[in-house]
Chain A
Amino acid sequence: MPITPDITLTARKLTRSFGNQPVIHDISLQLKRGEVLGLLGHNGAGKSTTMQMLTGCLLPDSGTIEICGIDLLRHAAQAKAHIGYLPETPPLYRELSVNDYLIFAARLRGMKSADVPAALALALQRCGLTDKSRKLIGTLSKGYQQRVGIAQAIIHQPAVIVLDEPTVGLDPSQIREIRTLIRELGNQHSVILSTHLLGEVESICDRVEIMQHGKLIYGDTSARMQQYGQVSGFIVSLRNPPVLAALQGIIGVTHVERLSEQQFRVLHSIEQNPSAELLALAAQHGWQLEQLTPLQARLEDVFVKITDEDAASGPARTEEVQP
């Protein structure tokens, strides 16, 4: 029996404008412990602004934010102790060593000095920085600086970790390591990350929210997003095809279309995948199966489809705004 996970972050009806440029319209978010939420959107969709508001760096014009049940706007100090934030540019003091910087970050978040050494060792180890701990941050490469940025956000074991484009500027192997780390963090903490890389969402996020023009236009689990607006099915090539009715008779198949002499497009319901049945029948009746390609949409297609649909359904209310 699954226990209902506690809610770590609740944001209700956030709005924000810069001057008279509205940037964020009516955003509501909720995050549970042990969940990784991907905030997806084009550049200038308002992802960073939203994250700044969630971390208390920017006041919303209206709306409320609660971190672990503490009102961020009224009891800022208590609420912020539960947040770890990596902004777009990692906030690094280049003249400090990695150790000194992380100790400073931990103490700043209100950790007792007795607890700091253990937390420091854990953060260094998690981010793969153990052998760089004495180096000056300014001398590290971009990838390592990004890791220091992440270490800074997780050192005090916050309930909510907010990462703004955490894998920007990293090489592919580092990206993989960071993703593994985020996945690992997501098991104990709540993580929000913003990104415009769809692969990232696919590989690490439990849930996706898509932002466009300062609004959340779509939210669901990332697995369901892949099925969004998608008919499930496959294309099958049979060298010795049977009559159409034989394919239509398989349980779960909703529609069969003959593409060519030997190729069929088979559509089926989401709940029941008839491919195993089809394979068995093909072997039994000697249909000589040659190829079976699922009609799997890539996340890219889905994303473009969702954002296009939104743009078409109503005129965009704002121009691209960067804070």
Chain B
Amino acid sequence: MISIIALRELRSLFSMPSTWFVLAVLQFIFAWFFLARLDAFLEIQPQLAQLANAPGVTASIAAPLFNVIALLLMMLVPMFTMRLIAEERRNQTLTLLLSSPLSGTQIVLGKFFGLMLFLIALMATTPVMLYTLQLGTPLDHGLLWSNVLGLVLLSACYAALGLYISALTSQPVIAAIGALAVLLGLWLADISSNAPDSPWHQLSPLNHFQNFNFGLLDSGDAAYFVLFSAVFLLLTVKRLNNNRVYG
């Protein structure tokens, strides 16, 4: 049941020209940034060679690239989550789901995993791009895959939050602006608070991504991501069930 909804979600996404356009532009940006970092690395390589413990190619190309993608996703995921429930509500297609033999949890998880599949497909080219470097130099696989894992967990957070805000309204645009406002707010509060022990650092998803970005697999960060996603998915289920109570 969950997979039926997820596949329908993907099919709808890929039947819209705008999805393909966004995908193409993003791939272009990723590739362009990758090449820019590569270029910079090649330029400073002679100086790096004289350092005792110089950063390798993965640390100087892959890590910044993933950081940029994490930031870009923060702005982009709301564009994809906005439609999930708000548009179903506006087009009255939600009744089809509500009158079908499905629980609220199945509907929410179906939509969540559908979007996650899409986001993973969107990010999948990045490791492929980085692995082309292996033609000339050895790569730090650990650092690379910890970044990929972090990025997937991070986008799950964004998707869950976006899904919840989409469930609150019947206007997709409001859902997009709302999700973007919350994500940007968390990020700005994080970077603008100077105290190292400020609670804002703990609240921001992007801050928890930093350890993954350095190649550090901290179970605390992973737990934060899982909890963050689970809380918002649960809230979405609750909101969807309220639909039946309040009409």
Give A contacts to B, CB under 8 Å: 18, 49, 52, 55-59, 76-81, 83, 85, 87-96, 100, 104-105, 107-110, 152, 323
Contact = CB atoms under 8 A, between A and B. Distances in A.
B4 A57 contact: no
B220 interface: no
Contacts of B8: 93, 96, 104
Interface of B: 1, 4-5, 8, 11-12, 15-16, 91-103, 244-247
Max count, chain A CB within 10 A of own CB: residue among B4, B94, B101: B101
Contact of A80 (B5, B93, B94, B101): B101
Contacts of A80: 99-102
Contacts of A52: 95, 247
Q: Is the interface of A mostly helix, strand, loop or mixed?
A: loop
A108 B4 contact: yes
19 contacts: A49-B247, A55-B95, A56-B98, A77-B102, A77-B103, A80-B99, A80-B101, A89-B92, A91-B91, A93-B8, A93-B91, A100-B11, A104-B8, A105-B96, A107-B4, A108-B5, A108-B96, A110-B101, A323-B247
Nearest to B94: A91
A57 B102 CA distance: 11
Contacts of A96: 8, 11-12, 15
Max count, chain A CB within 10 A of own CB: residue among B5, B16, B95, B96: B96
Contact of A58 (B96, B101, B247): B247
A108 to B, nearest CB: 5
Given A49-B247, A108-B1, A108-B97, 7 more contacts: A18-B246, A56-B99, A85-B96, A87-B92, A87-B95, A91-B96, A92-B93
Contacts of A90: 92
A152 B16 CA distance: 23
B97 to A, nearest CB: 7
A91 B93 contact: yes
Given A96-B12, A96-B15, A57 B95 contact: yes
B93 A93 contact: yes
Contacts of A89: 91-92
Contact of B244 (A57, A77, A87): A57
B168 to A, nearest CB: 19
Nearest to B14: A95
A85 B99 contact: yes
A81 B101 contact: yes
A83 B99 contact: yes
Nearest to B13: A95
Nearest to A89: B92
B101 A94 contact: no
B176 to A, nearest CB: 18
10 nearest A-B residue pairs (beta carbon) = A91-B96, A89-B92, A91-B93, A80-B101, A77-B101, A85-B99, A55-B99, A81-B101, A95-B15, A57-B98
Contacts of B96: 85, 91, 105, 108, 152
Contact of A76 (B91, B93, B101, B245): B101
B244 A58 contact: yes
Contact of A18 (B12, B101, B247): B247
B73 to A, nearest CB: 24
Contacts of B244: 56-59
A308 B92 CA distance: 34
